[in-house]
Structure 1
Amino acid sequence: MPWRIILSYAVLTSSILSVLVGCLLWRKKQPSAYVNRLLSLLLLMYGYIGFIGSLLVNGGILQVPHLFRTAAPLHYMTGPMIYLYVRASLRAESRFDRRFLWLFAPALFNAIELIPFYCQSTAYKIAHLKSLPLTSNSLARFTEGLLPPMVNTVGYTLSGIIYALLAGQLLLSYRRSQTFSRFSNPTYANWITTFVLIHVAANVVWLLIMLFVWQTPWANQAINMVFVVTQLSVCLYIIQRPTLLYGAYWFSPADRLSPVASQTAGQPVLPAPARPGAEPIRSVRPAESASRDDWEEDVQDKLRVLEQYMTTNKPYLQPRLSLTDVSVAVNLPPYLLSSMLNRVLDVEFRDYVNEYRVRYVCQLIQSNQFSHLTLEGISALAGFSSKTTFYRAFQKHMGLTPAQYSLRHVQPLQGGASAPVA
Structure 2
Amino acid sequence: MLTIVELLYDFVISTLVGLFGLHLITKKGPKASKFLGLYFLIFCARIILAYYATGGRLIQYPHLYLVGSPIHFLAPPVAFLFIYFMLYPQRKWRVWQALLFLPFVLHLGELLPFYFGPLEVKMSQIQLVLQYKSLVDYPGTVTFFSPKLLSLLKLIHTSVYAFISFLMVLLQIIKNRNKYNRFVLKWMVTFTSLSLLSVVFIGAYVLGIIGFNNLRFSYADLLMHLAAFVNLGFVLYRPSLLDGVSFQSLVLRLDKGHRSSEPGEDVEKLRKYEGYAKQLESYFANEKPFLDPELSLEKTAKMLQISTKDLSRTTAYIYELGYPDFVNSWRINYIVQQRNSDKHWQEYSQDMLAELSGFGSRQGLHNAVNRLHGTTPAMFFAQKKKES
Measured against aligned partners, the alpha-carbon deviations of 1:35-54 in whole angstroms (never above 9, x if no partner) come to 11011111111211221111
Q: Does the CA-based 8 Å contact 1:22-1:41 persist in structure 2?
A: yes
Per mean C-alpha deviation after superposition, the further-off stretch among 96-105 and 113-122 is 113-122
How far residue 17 of structure 1 moved from its aligned partner, in angstroms, is 2.9
Percent of aligned pairs with the same amino acid: 17
The answer to whether the aligner puts 1:109 opposite 2:106 as a matched pair is yes
CA distance in 1, matches of 2:21, 2:239: 14
Q: Does the CA-based 8 Å contact 1:8-1:58 persist in structure 2?
A: no
CA distance in 2, matches of 1:300, 1:106: 48
CA distance in 2, matches of 1:243, 1:83: 21
Select which of 86, 90, 94 maps to 1:89: 86
The answer to whether the aligner puts 1:207 opposite 2:206 as a matched pair is no
The residue identity in structure 2 corresponding to 1:306 is R
Higher relative contact order (CA 8 A, sep 6+): 1
Q: Which residue of the partner structure matches residue 295 of structure 1?
A: 320
Q: Does the CA-based 8 Å contact 2:54-2:215 persist in structure 1?
A: no
How far residue 55 of structure 1 moved from its aligned partner, in angstroms, is 1.0
CA distance in 2, matches of 1:94, 1:298: 29
Q: Which residue of the partner structure matches residue 145 of structure 1?
A: 143
The residue identity in structure 2 corresponding to 1:303 is N
CA distance in 1, matches of 2:229, 2:27: 21
CA distance in 2, matches of 1:91, 1:243: 17
CA distance in 1, matches of 2:22, 2:98: 23
The residue identity in structure 2 corresponding to 1:66 is H
Work out the number of aligned pairs and report it. Answer: 296
How far residue 301 of structure 1 moved from its aligned partner, in angstroms, is 6.1
Q: Which residue of the partner structure matches residue 29 of structure 1?
A: 28
How far residue 157 of structure 1 moved from its aligned partner, in angstroms, is 0.3
Q: Which residue of the partner structure matches residue 401 of structure 1?
A: none
CA distance in 1, matches of 2:51, 2:74: 20
Q: Does the CA-based 8 Å contact 1:76-1:156 persist in structure 2?
A: yes
Q: Which residue of the partner structure matches residue 19 of structure 1?
A: 18
Measured against aligned partners, the alpha-carbon deviations of 1:212-269 in whole angstroms (never above 9, x if no partner) come to 52787648656743445444333233223332454541434499xxxxxxxxxxxxxx
Q: Which residue of the partner structure matches residue 306 of structure 1?
A: 331
Q: Which residue of the partner structure matches residue 122 of structure 1?
A: 119
CA distance in 2, matches of 1:92, 1:271: 27
The residue identity in structure 2 corresponding to 1:115 is L
Q: Does the CA-based 8 Å contact 1:137-1:220 persist in structure 2?
A: no
Q: Does the CA-based 8 Å contact 2:59-2:123 persist in structure 1?
A: yes
Q: TM-score, normalised by structure 2?
A: 0.62
How far residue 142 of structure 1 moved from its aligned partner, in angstroms, is 7.9
Measured against aligned partners, the alpha-carbon deviations of 1:318-355 in whole angstroms (never above 9, x if no partner) come to xxxxxxxx9964889xxxxxxxxxxxxxxxxxxx99xx
Q: CA RMSD in A?
A: 4.3
Q: Which residue of the partner structure matches residue 133 of structure 1?
A: 130
C-alpha spacing 1:161/1:307, structure 2 compared with 1 (3 Å): closer
Q: Does the CA-based 8 Å contact 2:180-2:253 persist in structure 1?
A: no
Select which of 163, 166, 173 maps to 1:165: 163
Between structures 1 and 2, the one with greater helix share: 2
How far residue 139 of structure 1 moved from its aligned partner, in angstroms, is 5.2
CA distance in 2, matches of 1:47, 1:220: 18
Q: Does the CA-based 8 Å contact 2:136-2:148 persist in structure 1?
A: no
CA distance in 1, matches of 2:321, 2:230: 35
SS in 1 for 2:23: helix
CA distance in 2, matches of 1:13, 1:294: 41
How far residue 22 of structure 1 moved from its aligned partner, in angstroms, is 0.8
The residue identity in structure 2 corresponding to 1:203 is V
Q: Which residue of the partner structure matches residue 186 of structure 1?
A: 182
CA distance in 2, matches of 1:139, 1:104: 23
How far residue 186 of structure 1 moved from its aligned partner, in angstroms, is 3.4
Q: Which residue of the partner structure matches residue 42 of structure 1?
A: 39
Q: Does the CA-based 8 Å contact 2:59-2:126 persist in structure 1?
A: yes
CA distance in 1, matches of 2:88, 2:210: 38
C-alpha spacing 1:66/1:331, structure 2 compared with 1 (3 Å): same
